[in-house]
């Protein structure tokens, strides 16, 4: 195995970590039309792209994410790459967590708005969040409304 720290260093340089113990870690690199990030790197001798949350999960936990595996965002932020059970859950472990988190989320009306959005709006929101993170850094006055799914330019339906 080659010893090259560069790809991982470059990866983390594109991640904005919230200062709090349970804050999201936001991917600030490329975001594709599906609303998820892309990290371009050279792997096994060829240029490829990976989803940053999967890449981060493998890097930090050492657990490989295979093609059929489901790595779900519990925090409901598609560009979050924090490999922590409050944010990302692999496989069946997520289902119990999802139930619990969604119950709580329904009660306080937080970021569940993301669920109801179509693919285009979902991607637009990821782009907006990425752009805001790049421009403003971790500023919840700016990031908060985007992360909670409240679009200040659209009237709220609920």
Which residues make up the interface to Zn ion (CB under 5 A)?
A: 24, 75, 77, 80, 82, 87
Q: Which C-beta is closer to Zn ion: that of 81 or that of 123? A: 81
CB 74 within 8 A of CB 94: yes
Q: Which C-beta is closer to Zn ion: that of 75 or that of 132? A: 75
CB of 76 to Zn ion, least distance (A): 8
CB of 75 to Zn ion, least distance (A): 3
CB of 79 to Zn ion, least distance (A): 9
Q: Which C-beta is closer to Zn ion: that of 12 or that of 48? A: 12
CB 15 within 8 A of CB 56: yes
Q: Which C-beta is closer to Zn ion: that of 54 or that of 87? A: 87
DSSP states of 14-50 as a string? Answer: TEEE-SSTT--EEE-SEE-TTS-EEEEEEETTEEEEE
CB atoms within 10 A of CB 134: 13
CB 61 within 8 A of CB 77: no
Q: Which C-beta is closer to Zn ion: that of 42 or that of 131? A: 131
CB of 25 to Zn ion, least distance (A): 7
* Residues recorded for the chain: 158
What are the C-alpha distances in Å from 67 to residues 64, 85, 90, 115, 152?
10, 20, 12, 23, 37
CB of 133 to Zn ion, least distance (A): 12
């Amino acid at each position: 195995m080659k010893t090259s720290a560069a790809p991982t260093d470059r990866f983390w340089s594109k991640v904005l970590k919230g200062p709090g113990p349970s804050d999201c870690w936001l991917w600030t690199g490329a975001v594709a039309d599906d609303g998820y990030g892309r990290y371009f790197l050279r792997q096994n001798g060829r240029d490829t792209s990976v989803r940053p949350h999967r890449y981060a999960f493998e890097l930090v936990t050492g657990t490989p994410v295979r093609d059929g595996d489901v790595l779900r965002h519990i925090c409901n932020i598609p560009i979050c790459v924090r490999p922590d059970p409050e944010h990302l859950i692999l496989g069946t472990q997520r289902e119990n967590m999802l139930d619990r988190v969604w119950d709580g989320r329904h009660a306080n009306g937080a970021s569940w708005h993301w669920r109801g959005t179509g693919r285009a709006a979902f991607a637009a929101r990821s782009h907006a969040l990425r752009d805001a993170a790049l421009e403003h850094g971790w500023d919840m006055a700016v990031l908060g409304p985007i992360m909670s799914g409240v679009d200040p330019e659209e009237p709220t339906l609920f």
